[in-house]
């Protein structure tokens, strides 16, 4: 009987230790010269400088993983305020919002990816954070407590993304060099049923041809079912932009004020930008979006 008891306890101990072994998170810091693809939960343990100009700095290579910024900063090679210089192509932004995909952090066709702050993503030649979903697949991504600062196009760009959350983050001074592409603090393109809540969007957008189409938050393409709530949106070239085919969205309890800044209005005229620029009314879709309890 005694030997059976010892064997049982030994088996129990082995089972306990096996059950509690977990994979260590990958630690990231320093200079990154080629795209860093992560396949497991990872974390910054120091500031990161990214030198590549033809791809993302950190790319999610699997679903169900988290990247924790731990209070550090990821800085790219872009210079959003610098005019293009053919002799130094790394110093300015991509010529359009298309390739090369020189984003700070990219989650592409993966689900349940999370970027968790506090921390900053700044000065990338395209978007600070780009999330690409798959049509018909719930993305379920989350970005929380992240500052996206001074990126050439959008601070956080979401394309074909669904059932995802952006919360308690700051997106400031993005889209200074986006040209004709509609960009800003958070660009929500052909994306559905996402929640954008308790964020601050300030100083985003530029005045470029053919018209001012930048924003703090933009519902672009056929985006629908999104909830934009409890955000502070001020000092952008437009506060919220709702494009023609964006319908069935809810915009509520936001403070949307001071868009565009006074100096922009003084220089370009009072009609250059708005707190809310709702283009869906032009196609008769305006009544299909709900605006309630906003301060404008």
What's the mean pLDDT in 37-57?
Answer: 96
Looking at per-residue confidence, does 285 or 177 come out higher?
Answer: 177
**Rounded percentage of the chain residues whose pLDDT exceeds 70:** 87
Q: Per-residue pLDDT tens for 12-42? A: 343 433 333 333 568 999 999 999 999 999 9
Q: Which two tokens stand for residue 212?
A: 């001012």
For residue 85, what pLDDT is reported? 63
What separation in angstroms does the CA of 291 have from each of 61, 219, 242, 248, 251? 38, 13, 11, 10, 5
How many residues are present in the chain?
A: 296
Strand pairing report for 232-234 and 200-202:
parallel
Average pLDDT, the chain: 88
Q: Per-residue pLDDT for 276 more than 60? A: yes
Number of H helices, E strands in the chain: 2, 24
CB atoms within 10 A of CB 18: 8
User: Which has the closest alpha carbon to 72: 25, 120, 128?
Assistant: 120
Residue 72 · residue 92 · CB < 8 Å: no
For residue 210, what pLDDT is reported? 62
Q: Which two tokens stand for residue 288?
A: 């299909």
Q: Per-residue pLDDT tens for 105-138? A: 999 999 999 999 999 999 999 999 999 999 999 9
User: CA 152 to CA 105: how far, in whole Å?
Assistant: 14
Looking at per-residue confidence, does 209 or 191 come out higher?
Answer: 191
Cis peptide before 210 (omega within 30 of 0): yes
**Rounded percentage of the chain residues whose pLDDT exceeds 90:** 70
Q: Which two tokens stand for residue 4?
A: 């059976």
Residue 188 · residue 218 · CB < 8 Å: yes
The model carries a pTM of: 0.89
Looking at per-residue confidence, does 291 or 177 come out higher?
Answer: 291
For residue 212, what pLDDT is reported? 87
For residue 89, what pLDDT is reported? 58
Element (H, E) at 58: strand 58-60
For residue 86, what pLDDT is reported? 64
What's the mean pLDDT in 90-100?
Answer: 77
Domain 28-292 has CATH 2.160.20.10: yes
């Amino acid at each position: 009987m005694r030997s059976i008891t010892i064997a049982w306890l030994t088996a129990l101990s082995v089972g306990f230790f096996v059950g509690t072994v977990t994979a260590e998170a990958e630690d990231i810091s320093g200079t990154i010269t080629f795209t860093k693809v992560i396949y497991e939960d990872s974390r910054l343990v120091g500031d990161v400088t990214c030198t590549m100009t033809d791809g993302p700095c950190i790319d999610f290579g699997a679903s169900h993983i988290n990247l924790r910024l731990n209070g550090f900063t990821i800085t790219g090679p872009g210079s959003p305020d610098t005019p293009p210089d053919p002799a130094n192509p790394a110093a300015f932004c991509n010529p359009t919002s298309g390739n090369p995909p020189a984003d700070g952090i990219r989650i592409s066709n993966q689900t349940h990816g999370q970027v968790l702050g506090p921390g900053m993503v700044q000065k990338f030649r395209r978007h600070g954070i780009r999330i690409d979903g798959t049509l018909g697949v719930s993305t379920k991504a989350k970005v929380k407590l992240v500052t996206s600062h001074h990126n050439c196009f959008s601070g956080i760009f979401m394309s074909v993304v669904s059932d995802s959350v952006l919360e308690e983050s700051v997106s400031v001074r993005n889209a200074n060099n986006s040209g004709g592409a509609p960009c800003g603090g958070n660009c929500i393109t052909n994306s559905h049923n996402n929640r954008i809540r308790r964020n601050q969007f300030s100083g985003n957008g530029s005045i470029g041809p053919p018209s001012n189409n930048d924003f703090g938050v933009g519902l672009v393409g056929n985006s629908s079912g999104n909830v934009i709530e409890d955000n502070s949106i001020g000092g952008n070239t437009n506060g919220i932009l709702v494009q023609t085919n964006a319908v069935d969205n809810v915009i509520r309890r936001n403070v949307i004020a001071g868009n565009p800044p006074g100096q922009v209005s003084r220089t370009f005229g009072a009609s250059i930008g708005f707190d809310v620029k709702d283009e869906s009314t032009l196609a008769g879709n305006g009544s299909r979006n709900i605006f309630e309890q906003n301060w404008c």
